[in-house]
Amino acid sequence: MPLLPSLRIIALLLALVLAAAAFGAAAPAKGSTSAGAAQVTANEVYEVHHVETVGGTVVRVEIWRDTSYDAEKQPVILTYSPYNSLSEPETARDELGGMLVPSGYARAVADVLGTRGSTGCWDYGGPKEQQSGVDVVKHLARLPWSNGRVAMTGGSYNGTTATMVAARGSEVPELKAIIPIAAISRWYGYAYGNGVRYFLNSEVPTDEGFDTPLAFDAGLAKTVAADPMGQHFADTIRSRAAECGAVEHNQEAYSRNPDYDGFWRERDYRKDAKDFRAAVLLAHGWRDFNVKQEEATELFRRLPVDRPGTRRVEGVPFKLMYLTQGSHSGGTDGKQWDQLLYRFLAHTLKGDRNGIRKEGPVISQGATSTGVTPSRVARDYPLPATEPTTLWLRDAAPGTEGRLAPGQADGRRHSSYVKVASYAEAGVSTEELPARSGLAYLSRPVARPTRVVGSTVLDAWVRVSSETMHLTPVLLDVAPDGSTQTIARGFRHVDYRNGLHRADPVTGRWIRVRTRLLPQDHTLAPGHRIGLSVQSSNTVWAVPGNPGQVEVAQGRLGPRIVGSRLVLPTIGRSAVFE
């Protein structure tokens, strides 16, 4: 669909700001360090390399290291980033380098293909960008002072590049470890929730990512390095003048009927999970509304781990997942994370036997209605102790509250909506539920603390009146005083109910639509109720689908249709209600 004019303006302003940052940044005095970095010593050097890669393009790489460790050889910690114009002029002299360079690690930061000091075109996570990352890793591993071991790390896009290179598996044996923080594992899932284009959100208004890829094509992908006398400056200027696939990027990323086609398959690293060979430490926030948390949980779930007793390598040496209640890139700044990171790097890059393989492998901080819980350790994800709690949707109508209850409803019934449902009669606050079309359901109060970990599923039979309609259910924690807290959100383009490769619009008859809500770790307190809002076009968190009437089965409507149900992944045993 056409791009919004306001987004074009935002992108233009972003491009101007970034260009000013690139050309206007003042170089620090010789020997100075950036904030958080250790004091420079006489043995430290800072170098700029240009690595040739796909199609004769080059990637700019900056390296900070202490030469006193060269004789014993140094491992390299690499971040491959499109954001380096925001860190001029010495991008590798950062806080992470300041902590690790004095311990015998070399710090490297490279400009993503088509950004800042790298030539070529920005590839929106595509195969050229992936190959260029592979080439940078190999270059770093072959330097005379390197021990041949490279780790990749970073947050958001900077962690996504680590994942995309690791997906090349045995082609890049030099990559020994990755630490993707709040990173994308499937670009389709970053743009769309089961075919619904993500938009804004009501909790952290700046944390949603709707400007990707627009802000890159018109902003970050137009930047150049701050040293215009550099060897490849003229080449970068010529590259920035090219169209560079921006039309295709934005047509694919802002469609109302987005088939999962070859474009997205090239940018799906999860499909290659069996090929990963680097050790993996995933970090993500359960409340990340930009890069959704399932980008980490689904990659973790699909990564196989090598079995030491076999001759064939089946997967990664080991994997860890660290989940907090932080938002985008949040929650990885505490003592627990720092110790986990240092031990992970020491083991994978230097061979230290520090017990990191026995950590976790899943470390999760949960939420409650009043705060967060201490981190808990689990043997796997989904958690092995998960048991389903099934609640059936009953007796809702616009303006009233239906029930969520165990057991199928008797009789033949369904309900429909075209306008917002009200929680008012149940005394429930609408702060978390701005006016949207939908039906509202409430369970009885839970009788004991009830922990929900993973993805809740709404398994519904619906009948819709037009094509390109959505289901966007919201799962709620409803306190005794009627106040609400959002537990999880779900998104489903009804035309893609049978798969994402091709739309299959059906109107006027009953169809089964399963919506897998985004995962969460949340514990309901005794006396709290489970709330569900079954919405169609969500005008806050997603680009709306077509308007129309939605009918939801709430009881038997024939031999196949027995009603609609909500299935929650509860821990230990099914939920018990008062």
Residue % of the chain over a pLDDT of 90:
72
pLDDT the model gives residue 436: 47
Helix axes 127-142, 157-166, angle to 10 degrees: 80
Residue 6 has pLDDT above 60, yes or no: no
Joined tokens for residue 222: 């137009």
pLDDT the model gives residue 95: 94
Query: Among 79-88, 226-235, 293-302, 389-398, which stretch is predicted with the lowest mean pLDDT?
Result: 226-235
Q: What is the DSSP letter of 437?
A: B
d(CA 378, CA 300): 13
Query: For all residues of the chain together, what is the average pLDDT?
Result: 88
Query: Would you place residue 538 in the very low, low, confident or very high pLDDT band (cuts 50, 70, 90)?
Result: confident
Provide the 3-class DSSP secondary structure of residue 571. strand
Token pair 């250790």 in the structure block, residue: 38
Query: Would you place residue 432 in the very low, low, confident or very high pLDDT band (cuts 50, 70, 90)?
Result: very low
**Tens-digit pLDDT profile for residues 90-137:** 999 999 999 999 999 999 999 999 999 999 999 999 999 999 999 999
Joined tokens for residue 321: 């997942």
**Tens-digit pLDDT profile for residues 162-174:** 999 999 999 999 9
Token pair 């041949």 in the structure block, residue: 148
Token pair 């006398």 in the structure block, residue: 229
Query: Would you place residue 42 in the very low, low, confident or very high pLDDT band (cuts 50, 70, 90)?
Result: confident
Please give the average per-residue pLDDT across 45-68, as a whole number.
96
Q: How distant is the alpha carbon of residue 294 from its chain centre?
A: 6
Q: Hey, where are the domains in the chain?
A: 5-378, 386-571
pLDDT the model gives residue 429: 44
Element (H, E) at 1: none
pLDDT the model gives residue 196: 96
Query: Would you place residue 261 in the very low, low, confident or very high pLDDT band (cuts 50, 70, 90)?
Result: very high
Q: Which of 274, 279, 216 is nearest to 245 (CA)?
A: 216
Phi-psi region of 411 (alpha: psi -120 to 50; beta: other; left: phi over 0): left
pLDDT the model gives residue 523: 97
The reported pTM is 0.90
Element (H, E) at 106: strand 106-111
Cα distances (Å, whole numbers) of residue 229 to 91, 222, 225, 235, 397: 17, 18, 10, 12, 69
Residue 426 has pLDDT above 80, yes or no: no
Q: Which of 505, 229, 477 is nearest to 368 (CA)?
A: 477
Residue 425 has pLDDT above 60, yes or no: no
Residue % of the chain over a pLDDT of 70:
89
Q: Output the CATH code of domain 386-571.
A: 2.60.120.260
**Tens-digit pLDDT profile for residues 436-476:** 458 999 999 999 999 999 999 999 999 999 999 999 999 99
d(CA 346, CA 351): 6
* Domain 5-378, classified CATH 3.30.360.10, yes or no: no
Dihedral sign for Cα 459, 463, 464, 467, please: positive
Cα–Cα–Cα angle for 342, 348, 350, rounded to 5 degrees: 80
pLDDT the model gives residue 107: 98
Instruction: List the end-to-end C-alpha distance of the chain, in Å, as a whole number.
Output: 49
pLDDT the model gives residue 41: 66
Cα distances (Å, whole numbers) of residue 199 to 193, 202, 307, 487, 539: 10, 10, 42, 19, 8
Query: What does the DSSP assignment read for 207-257?
Result: -S-TTTTHHHHTTGGG---S-TTSTTHHHHHHHHTS-TTHHHHHHHHT-SS
